[in-house]
Amino acid sequence: MLQLPAGREASHGERVPRYERHRPEQNLLYQLVEEYYPAFEAQWAAEGRVLPDYVRQEFDEYLKKWPS
């Protein structure tokens, strides 16, 4: 028998749910970050301020993870 998450088992006649990608690049959060983050970072630089490295890294990784 096929092992499913949480210890459930599927017998041979049952359908196992198929993985379907969620497409986060199509959600509103991703679109807002993609559109406004570069201007936000540029505004901080124009004011002589710099975002902490860990903040920039999180935004950069988030945007790289989901190509638009």
Q: Where are the domains of the chain?
A: 22-68
**Each residue's pLDDT tens digit, 30-63:** 999 999 999 999 999 999 999 999 999 999 998 8
User: pTM for this one?
Assistant: 0.59
d(C-alpha 19, C-alpha 33), whole Å: 26
Query: What pLDDT score was predicted for residue 3?
Result: 60
Q: Rounded to whole angstroms, what are the CA distances from 14 to 2, 6, 7, 21?
A: 10, 17, 15, 22
d(C-alpha 35, C-alpha 55), whole Å: 17
Q: Which residue has the tokens 């903040």?
A: 55
In three-state secondary structure terms, 10 is strand
Residue 9: what are its φ and ψ, rounded to 5°? -120, 150
Which range (3-17, 18-32, 33-47) has the least confidence? 3-17
Query: What pLDDT score was predicted for residue 56?
Result: 94
